[in-house]
Amino acid sequence: MKIFVVGTGYVGLGVGTCLAETGNEVICVDVDQEKIALLNEGRSPLFEPGLSEMIQRNVEEQQLRFTTVLAEGVQASRVVFIAV
């Protein structure tokens, strides 16, 4: 399923990554361009055990991606999860 997560804090990033880990295609959005660039490199700005490895794996497998463009995720997804 294609899922869009608004917000990449502890809740949004954790939920989005876990949804990607279970086989969903996930796009996460945030206004912080530096954070999004870091995440698209497969690196986590937050410390949560195991999160960095899951982000990296799912970014590489193209199950998880990050953007600063709200419309991009809304148009491409069936479900929107708001975590702000």
Count of alpha carbons within 13 angstroms of residue 10, beta-carbon side = 3
CATH classification of the domain holding 55: 3.40.50.720
Q: Which residues of the chain have pLDDT under 50?
A: none
* pLDDT number for residue 11: 95
Q: How many domains does the chain have?
A: 1
Answer for the pair 7, 73: CB distance below 8 angstroms, yes or no. Answer: no
* pLDDT number for residue 53: 94
- Structural domain range at position 47: 2-82
Q: How far apart are CA 31 and CA 50, in angstroms?
A: 24
* pLDDT number for residue 75: 86
Beta-bridge mates of residue 64: 26
* pLDDT number for residue 29: 97
